[in-house]
Structure 1
């Protein structure tokens, strides 16, 4: 029976070269008897095509059982692949069971898209040999994700289906694929111009804050944290952890997320370095870390990246672009600890140097301050004494001026009092003289009036007597009445004159009293004016004295403040310029084993001293001063040195 083929017109030449023949009666190609069908497998007809070919049976007649079809398929595969063939594939889901190794053989395109997939197995008899061969050649074990070139025998079993049986493996292909992948990554990094970006960052001289990317719960991380936690408890360095997956299909995305988190933390709280550690695991797991994205993350991180992936011989692509690569996590933390310890020791040495220098400077500064204080005290005392002298002089002048003013006022008061008293006495004298003259005038007037009255009375008496002779009876009564009237009129005249004299005398006395009182008021007013003038003069002199005293105190305080500021500036200058500038200014420094000696008592406690001048140094031995020398140096606390 002929096996007809369904061959497209453009493939007929190829089919003829394989041995196909043309049936001249039907015009279809067929496989001659004795030829292997496996070579023509691609042109074997399917159901619809077979029905259209010559000699095709009916559907019922052509039907076969599933077992027959699968057995035929088994025979066809065995016929087509009688011996193993070399096949390129990728391990997926690699697992071991009972000494056998099972996995899925996968074929992918350049974008990682899956094109084909089938089951594969390495039987126990071959597994150990193939595994050792691969490890010896590559240094790593077989792992998921590896691209390999294997010698595989296709097999089909009616019950278990299709599978590949791996009988051998070419490690060179895998190495080539690894190198090719690393080469592509390196070319991409070089093309971006970032290959040395992280390496160019200055290495951290000290560590205060460190970011750590590591798998959660890894053994290497535990070793790392033993030392890291001790440093953190001591307050020397803070460690911030970002956990990620370092193997498997989620490795790349997990590490990308960890790098992003570390960068965001670095922006808020800058780290001195970012540590990437794996902490143990299979060497084959390194292939998961050979990714372009991870290499970019390392290159572009803004702080030095330190890697400790866990293998000293083999490295991954992140090791190549990190600022520094270490073999293990323990070595990374040892480096951090060593840097911190070195920095601390250097700081301690610097502190000791500064302390010794500060002690020496303090001794010299203290001596300068004491000298300045003594100078200031002496100057202040001199100024205070001068001020007190000026105050005493001002006080004496004030007292003298006040005494002079009081004496002058008293003299003026006495003169005024004498003038007023003299005026009052003169006025009283004039008043007394006027009263006497007035009394005399009144007396004369009264005498004259009485004489006139007597004379008039005599005349009237004579007239009456002459006229009475005619009427003696009635005339005597009239005469007595007239005489009585004359006497009453005279009495009234005398009383009026006496009253006028008394009133005049009272007016004179009152005028004299007014004059005397006016003089006393003038004396009191002048005395008050003199007292007020003296009091104002005294107050002004006291204010001048207080102002002068305040000026003296202010000037003294200013001089003390200036001296203190000068001392601080000298200390700051000595601290900033060191010992040499001080020596050049003419000072000398006494030391014992580089430790300053700042007192004579301390100098006597050493057998030998070193005195440093600006042009050299010499060694001396302290010797107590002799009696005659001690007398000269007693006020200065001097001793004597013997040149050693």
Structure 2
């Protein structure tokens, strides 16, 4: 029913509805075609119960809104447009993106002016997102931050992992499964910092968790951002400058497994390392342990072999020294015994010579006395008798003196013999003590060296290695060093510190990453 203007107090008055209808007619008559319009979709305003959207479109200049208009996107149009948009851009329609839309202009007296969106060109938005990515890369490189996280050093054994993921995601479950069931039996510590990983809230959520981890960074060796499933949809947040900058400046290495195989995001570029899937990240961490354990096993075998050789060499050397000691001791004893025997024989020969000399002189003196007594007998027997008496006394005195001299000489010879034997015995004892001390010193040094080697061998013994969380995997009683040594259906025996685990190989895969 058409309404007419009224006269009130001599004034021509129109109702609000009449004014709105007039505007509606004017717009419908003027804007009869559809138009391509570029704008930023400030809010999508999707209502799930009806399937309709009521976007808020704005245009900004210098950070200020210079134009604002409401829009309508009906359910069927939204479904068609969103599917096409997601397929091309890799992102669904969402808040805060720039779009190029095809729309008609409409005006409703009750709801006002609005654009009815009938199509959206996803290529325009894709170009804008790529431009954002390029701008982020250029800015990080200009600020010298692009390679900052890559310049860090990964710990030799990255065992403590801070995980940023969604607890219910398949990627998170796959990561834990690979990490905890590794054939090497390597033990890892991991703690989950739950976060949104796609959508407009993902950047804020991930940044919050990175700040939490930074406060306890001393408890972790590496940060892993894991996003499993979802394909290449919802990745634009990983081109955000603030998020990429936080990861580039993070004080410990950040590794990413965002779960896509196409265009690499800025976050992946600036991270310490990235992998296509969460599974590959787990394999990357396990490989670091494997790279360490293989040389350790080889070193253990080398140490055992060298220790055995040293023990054998030391045993041979000790045996040789003992033989030399026995030989030298026997030679010294024989030499000194021979010297003592020679000195004894020499003393006996000298004593015999002295006794014979004194005996000959006594016989000669007696003969002279007897001849003198016979010649003087005729002249004066008394004198002779007296002389004989004196001579007998003299002879007795001479005999006593000779006997005393002989006894004194024998005593001196006996004392000299004892001194010579004692000196030889002391020299022999001193030489024996020096030889024993040298042998003991060498034996102690050998014993210390052998003890050190035994200690190293005990430290690197399989039992102690197993006690630290390592394990040994056997196939047909032979150690397995890499995945190429096994095939599907093989029965593997894993020796732990306490117990043995038997398993059947379902799959084996060679890891090509460093």
Is the pair's TM-score, using the shorter chain for normalization, greater than 0.5?
A: yes
Report what 1:68 is aligned to.
18
Deviations 1:548-572 (A, max 9, x none): 9999889846741343215655998
2:290 to 334, 337, 341: 341
2:77 to 115, 118, 126: 126
Please list, as runs of the form range in 1=range in 2, the aligned pairs for 1:11-50 lying within 5 A after superposition. Answer: none
Tell me the alpha carbon deviations over residues 123-175 of structure 1, each in whole angstroms, 9 at most, x when there is no partner. Answer: 34433443344344334433333211101223222334443211121222102
Distance 1:78 1:555, change over 3 A: farther
Residue among 242, 251, 257 paired with 1:308: 257
Instruction: Tell whether 2:170 aligns with 1:290.
Output: no
Deviation at 1:70, TM superposition (A): 2.3
Bigger shift: residues 552-561 or 89-98: 552-561
Aligned 1:9-408 pairs, distance under 5 A: 61-91=11-41, 92-93=43-44, 95=46, 97=48, 100-107=51-58, 109=60, 117-202=68-153, 206-230=157-181, 236-266=187-217, 268-269=218-219, 271=221, 273-281=222-230, 283-372=232-321, 375=324
Q: 1:143, 1:285 within 8 Å by CA — same for their partners in 2?
A: no
Q: Matched residue of 1:147: which SS?
A: strand
1:51-86 Cα shifts (integer Å, max 9, x gaps): xxxxx9877733322322322232233244322222
What is the rounded CA distance, in whole Å, between the counterparts of 2:93 and 2:192 in structure 1? 31
SS at match of 1:102: coil
Sort the Cα spacing of 1:555 and 1:234 in 2 relative to 1 into closer, same or farther, 3 A: same
Counterpart-to-counterpart distance in 1, 2:204 and 2:325: 77
Question: Equivalent residues in 2 for 1:566-585 (5 A)?
Answer: 566=446, 568=448
Question: SS of 2:55's equivalent?
Answer: strand
Q: 1:155 to 1:100 in 2, by over 3 A?
A: farther
Instruction: State whether residues 232 and 238 of structure 1, in contact with CA within 8 Å, keep that contact through their aligned partners in structure 2.
Output: no
Distance 1:231 1:60, change over 3 A: farther
Q: Distance in 2 between matches of 1:152 and 1:121?
A: 9
Q: Does 2:509 match 1:560?
A: no
Please say if residues 100 and 122 of structure 1, whose CA atoms lie closer than 8 Å, have aligned partners that are also in contact: no
* Displacement after TM superposition at 1:176 (Å): 1.7
CA gap of 1:218–1:136, structure 2 versus 1, over 3 A, is closer
SS state of the match for residue 303, structure 1?
A: coil
Residue 382 of structure 1: how far off its partner (Å)? 9.2
Q: 1:249 to 1:138 in 2, by over 3 A?
A: closer
- Displacement of 1:185 after TM fit? 0.9
TM-score w.r.t. the length of structure 1 is 0.48
- In the alignment, structure 1 segments of 5+ residues that lack a partner are 1-55, 390-547, 577-644
Is residue 90–residue 235 contact of structure 2 (8 Å, CA) maintained in 1? no
Query: Mean alpha-carbon deviation: is it higher for 331-340 or for 58-67?
Result: 58-67
Aligned to 1:514: none
- What RMSD in Å do the two structures reach over aligned CA positions? 4.2
Is the alpha carbon distance of 1:326 and 1:362 closer, same or farther for their aligned partners in structure 2, counting shifts above 3 Å?
same
Q: 1:176 to 1:136 in 2, by over 3 A?
A: same
Q: Following superposition of structure 1 onto structure 2, how do residues 472-621 of structure 1 map, counting pairs within 5 Å? A: 556=436, 559-566=439-446, 568=448
Q: What secondary structure is seen at the aligned counterpart in 1 of 2:158?
A: coil
Superposition deviation, residue 260 in structure 1: 2.7
- The alpha-carbon distance between structure 1 residues 233 and 365, as it changes in their structure 2 partners (threshold 3 A), is closer
Distance 2:64 2:186 in 1: 51
Runs of 4+ aligned structure 1 residues displaced above 6 Å come to 56-60, 377-383, 548-555, 570-573
> What's the secondary structure of 1:109's corresponding residue?
strand
Aligned partners of 1:551 and 1:60: how far apart in 2?
148
Q: Deviations over 1:430-454 (max 9, x none)?
A: xxxxxxxxxxxxxxxxxxxxxxxxx
Distance across 1 between alignment mates of 2:431 and 2:113: 115
8 Å CA contact 1:81, 1:154 repeated in 2: yes
Q: Which deviates the most, 84-93 or 560-569?
A: 560-569
1:184 Cα deviation after fit: 1.6
Distance in structure 2 (CA, Å) of the matches to 1:377 and 1:77: 125
Deviation at 1:228? Answer: 3.1
Contact 1:198 1:305 in 2 (8 A): yes
Q: Secondary structure at the match of 2:104?
A: strand
Structure 1 CA distance for aligned equivalents of residues 89 and 201 of structure 2: 24
Gaps of 5+ in 2: 1-5, 338-427, 457-514
Q: Which digits, 9 at most, give the CA deviation of each residue in 1:516-544, with x for residues without a partner?
A: xxxxxxxxxxxxxxxxxxxxxxxxxxxxx
Which has the higher relative contact order, 1 or 2, with Cα contacts under 8 A spaced 6 or more apart?
2
SS in 2 for 1:285: coil
**Hey, what's the Cα distance between the residues in 2 that align with 1:567 and 1:344?**
31
Cα distance in 2 for residues equivalent to 1:363 and 1:292: 66
Count of residue pairs the alignment pairs up: 360
Could you say what secondary structure the match of 2:252 adopts? Answer: coil
TM-score, normalised by the number of residues in structure 2? 0.59
